[in-house]
Amino acid sequence: MGVQDDLLYEQLQDADAATVEAIVGLYRSAGWWDESSAEDARGRAVIPEMVRGSFCFLVARDVDGRIVAMARAISDRVSDAYIQDVVVLPEWRGRGIGAEMVRRLARFCSERRLAWIGLVAEPGTQAFYEALGFRALEQYVPMRFRGPAEPPAASGSSAAAVARPPADGAASPRTEPAP
Ligand SMILES: CC(C)(COP(=O)(O)OP(=O)(O)OC[C@H]1O[C@@H](n2cnc3c(N)ncnc32)[C@H](O)[C@@H]1OP(=O)(O)O)[C@@H](O)C(=O)NCCC(=O)NCCS
């Protein structure tokens, strides 16, 4: 996908064993990999499918071909996309690589006329993304499913948290204009 400052930016279509290890190394460097958990043991095995299933799985390679950064977009491919897993190896940070990865992913999506490009910014990275054109969706809250909510207690207790639709009919952050 192009060369910049002796780095090769490449869209991965698949991941061999060496590539999987490089990707695991990037997740580890971001603190997003826990070898001891069953979920992450499975994670290593599914990385090739994550690469193949991504809308765009981008890596940056140094002159020796070593992967030093990754970022990916997941998408329905016609309307919406989410950018995630943006990581640069610590020794390569501060050289504009992370910004270039995000710019390339945003361009990849925009060129395919995707109107809604979102992401969940790690704490402390908001300014990084704002400089690239992203804006916080004020009052919206990033959420992750952690399992079914407990059913409400039968006898009027309010202790159990139960998911329910918003009272004002608001649907999703998609109602916010694209940045
Ligand atoms: C966040 C991360 C991807 C940035 O990559 P990077 O290659 O170091 O960033 P760049 O060198 O491209 O920085 C571009 C600009 O953003 C700024 N910037 C970098 N990280 C920043 C941060 N965390 N907060 C605010 N600004 C930041 C840089 O100072 C630079 O500003 P400049 O253009 O005025 O010089 C990298 O620090 C990283 O991998 N962190 C761990 C994983 C992570 O948190 N990823 C984000 C997931 S949401």
The residue nearest atom 8 of ligand 1, judged by CA position, is 93
CA 144 to chain centre: 13
Please count the other Cβ atoms lying within 10 Å of the Cβ belonging to residue 175.
Answer: 9
Q: Which residues of the chain have pLDDT under 70?
A: 1-5, 154-179
Question: Are the beta carbons of 99 and 132 closer than 8 angstroms?
Answer: yes
- Ligand 1 atom closest to Cα of residue 94: 11
The three state secondary structure string of 85-112 is: EEEECHHHCCCCHHHHHHHHHHHHHHHC
- Ligand 1 atom closest to Cα of residue 120: 48
Residue 97 CA to ligand 1 centre (angstroms): 8
pTM of this structure: 0.85
**Is 88's C-beta closer than 6 angstroms to any atom of ligand 1?**
yes
Tell me the per-residue pLDDT of 16-57, one tens digit each, with 9 for 90 and over.
999 999 999 999 999 998 878 777 777 889 999 999 999 999
Please count the other Cβ atoms lying within 10 Å of the Cβ belonging to residue 69.
Answer: 23
The residue nearest atom 1 of ligand 1, judged by CA position, is 125
Residue spans of beta strands (DSSP E) within the chain: 2-4, 7-12, 56-61, 67-75, 80-88, 116-119
83 three-state secondary structure: strand
- Ligand 1 atom closest to Cα of residue 101: 12
Residue 68 CA to ligand 1 centre (angstroms): 14
Hey, what domains does the chain have and what are their CATH numbers? 3-134 (3.40.630.30), 137-142+157-179 (no CATH)
15 three-state secondary structure: coil
157 three-state secondary structure: coil
Query: For residue 168, what are its two tokens?
Result: 């004002």
Query: For residue 83, what are its two tokens?
Result: 């950018």
Distance of alpha carbon 89 from alpha carbon 26, whole angstroms: 6
Distance of alpha carbon 60 from alpha carbon 166, whole angstroms: 42
Give the residue from 32, 28, 40 showing the smallest Cα distance to 67.
28
Give the residue from 174, 170, 175 showing the smallest Cα distance to 81.
174
- Ligand 1 atom closest to Cα of residue 100: 12
